[in-house]
Structure formats: structure tokens, C-alpha cells
Amino acid sequence: MAEDAFRLAAITLDERSIVRRTREIEQERDIAIYDILEANSFKPEGSHGGPYKLVLSVEDNRLVFDVQLEDDTQHGKVMLSLTPLRRVIKDYFLICESYYKAIRTAPPSQIEALDMGRRGLHNEGSDILIERLKGKIAVDHDTARRLFTLICVLHMKG
């Protein structure tokens, strides 16, 4: 089967999971979804191919990957404990908050340092996600980075 069969064609977030939205959150979500749909690698274990639709949600302290085929046929659900991601998500929120504040008034060197820290935490979250999905869904690093962004959006609390 062609490699392009193992990709996400649509992705949505469970709207019930998202409590608060700011302009920055909406922008992060929209960019991550756009980038995922432009180029991704998504291979559920044992699958004969997609393309796939994905609904991301949080249920009972677990991250849920609800995978469907393009024709809405249920393909399977993968549930992951959020515990291994909690610290990096919390740290990522803190540095993002500092970054967005700094953009308005800080010197470029401070903004650059915060952005480097933000990218480092983003990579760490992506690596954890790849490891947690191992044996369930294979994703490349860029897809994992964008999924991590969406997981963070699901965790924005009011």
C-alpha cells in the first residue's frame, strides 16, 4: 500500500475538553492542524491503511486517540495515561505564557531565549508522545510535535 495511505486526512479536538480559548490558543490549534494535514505520518499498528480521521480528547485523565477511516468507519481507540506528559505540559504552559508576555516588551535576546526553551520543551513532549505511542501508532517527529501542540490545547484550563 502507498505511504500516503498512512496519513491523517482530518483531525478534530473534542470541544468538551477545551475550557478556555484565547487568540493565541486558537492560532496554535489552527496552525498545528493545518501543518499536520499538509504533511504527516500516522500508522496505527496492524492497520491496512487509511487515510484516517482522528478525534483527540481527554477522558478520565487519559488522552484518547479515536481513529476512524475517511468514510467514518471506526478503526480503533488508543488511550494513554497523561501522567508521563503532565510535567512537560505544565512547564510548556509556563514558558509559553512568559514568551507571549515577552513578545510585547522584552528585548529580542530574551524573546529568543524563551523561544529556545519553548522549542526544547516541545521536543521533549514530542519524544515522550512517540515513546508512549510505540506499538500502538507510529508517528514521525514532526507529526508528534504537532500532536503535542494539540494535546496542550486540550489542557488549557480557565
Please give the C-alpha separations between residue 78 and each of 9, 44, 56, 62, 150, in angstroms, as whole numbers. Answer: 18, 9, 10, 10, 16
Peptide bond into 108 cis (omega under 30): no
Helix (H, G, I), strand (E, B) or coil at 73: coil
| Confidence (pLDDT) at 21 | 62
Please give the C-alpha separations between residue 66 and each of 91, 95, 101, 124, in angstroms, as whole numbers. Answer: 27, 30, 35, 24
The pLDDT mean for the chain works out to 87
Please state the φ and ψ torsions of residue 157, each to the nearest 5 degrees. -115, 150
pLDDT tens profile 71-87: 888 889 999 998 999 89
Please state the φ and ψ torsions of residue 32, each to the nearest 5 degrees. -60, -45
Distance CA(138)–CA(157), nearest Å, equals 29
| Confidence (pLDDT) at 50 | 83
pLDDT at 104 over 70: yes
Asked whether 68 and 75 are in contact (CB, 8 A), the reply is yes
